[in-house]
Amino acid sequence: MTSLASASVTKVPHISHAVLRVSGPDKKGVIAAFTQVLSGHGCNILSSEQHTDTASSRFFQRSAFDISTMLTDKVTLSNGISEVAKRLNMKAEITWPPLRKKVAIFVSKYEHCFWELLLRHRAGELPCDIVCVISNHPDLASITQMFGIRYEVFKITKDTKAEQETKEIELLNSLNVDLIVLARYMQIVSDNFCSTFPHRIINIHHSFLPAFIGSKPYHRAFERGVKLIGATAHYATADLDEGPIIEQDVKRINHKDSVEDLIAKGRILEKEVLVRAVKKHLQEELIVEGNKCIVFGD
C-alpha cells in the first residue's frame, strides 16, 4: 500500500514556469503590449498562444514564462501587468509556480473514471495533489486507501442534501481545494454548490452534449439508433449539463451493441475525456468566456 501511495507523489512533474492568461476586447497592439511587460521585467517567454474570436472581437492570450531571470519581483510584475490590462480594458491573471493544484474527487459507485484519475496521477501526468475523495457511498474507500488518500462519506438524501453539501464545502475549504472533479458522481450538485466553486468543478457527462442531456444517455442513444456514442467533460454550472465544454470525444458503435455494450464502450471514452479535461485545467490552459472554453495547448 505504502509503495503505491509514495510512488504517486514522486512522479508528479514540477512545473516551474508562471502562466499569464489574458482576455478582453481585441485591439491593436495587444499582443505586443503584454509581451513587452514580461520581457521588460526580464522574464523569458517560453511559449505563447493567442486567439481572436472575430465574431465577437474578443482577444485571448496564454503565455508561459520563466521567472528565474525576473529582474523585479512578483508584486511588481503583477502591478505592471494589471496596469496594461486596465488600460486595455482586459482581464489578466497570473498563476505562479509551482502549478500544482489541490484536487478533490467526488465518486459514487462507478470505478472507471476514478481509477483512471488515480493511475494517470500515479504516472505523473496530472500536476496536482489529490487531497481527498468524497462520496455518498462507502464502496470506493478501499481503493482510495491503497493510494493513501483520505476518503470521506457524506450520505445524501433529499432531506439532508443541503446540510451535507454545507459540510462538504467546509471540508473542501479547510483543505484549500482548487479543483473538484465529479468522476461519475451520481448526485446532482446544487446551484449553491456550483456557484461556490465557479469554473472549479469539472463534470463528465456520458453523452456527446448537447445530445442526450440528462439521465440515461446510453439508453436513449440506443433507442435513437445513433452510430456513435460520446462523452463530454464540462464545468458544472447551475444549468445541468449546460456548462462550458472542455473536451469531448466519440466512439463508433453499431446495431450489434446492446445498451450494456454502449455502457462498456462508453467507460473507455468517459475516463479518457475526463482526464484530458482535468489536465487542461491543471496546466492553466483554459480560459472560460461566456459559456465556452478557449482550450490552449493542443
Chain contacts with its own copies (rule: CB under 8 A): 1, 3-4, 28-29, 31-32, 35-36, 38-39, 44-55, 69, 111-112, 115, 119, 122-123, 125, 142-143, 146, 208-212, 222, 224-228, 230, 244-245, 247-250, 254-256, 258-259, 264, 267-268, 272, 291-295, 297-298
Q: Which is nearer to its own copies, 108 or 248 (CB)?
A: 248
The single residue of 159, 239, 241, 257 carrying the catalytic annotation is 241
Q: In the bound complex, what is the minimum distance in angstroms from residue 202's beta carbon to its own copies?
A: 14
Provide the residue type at 19 as one letter: V
Closest approach of Cβ 134 to its own copies, in Å? 20
Nearer to its own copies, 158 or 252 (CB): 252
Enumerate residues 6+ apart whose C-beta is below 8 A from 64: 17, 18, 19, 45, 46, 47, 48
List the Cα angle 46/18/23 in 5-degree steps.
90
Q: Is 66 among the residues known to form the active site? A: no
Q: Of 193 and 222, which CB lies nearer to its own copies in the complex structure?
A: 222
Q: If DSSP states are collapsed to H, E and C, what string results for 147-181?
A: CCCCEEECCCCCCCHHHHHHHHHHHHHHCCCCEEE
CB nearer its own copies, residue 156 or residue 246: 246
Least separation in angstroms between residue 64's CB and its own copies is 10
> Phi and psi for 145 in degrees, rounded to 5?
-65, -35
CB of 171 to its own copies, least distance (A): 25
Within 10 A of 6 (CB to CB), how many other CB atoms are there?
10
* Residues belonging to the active site: 241
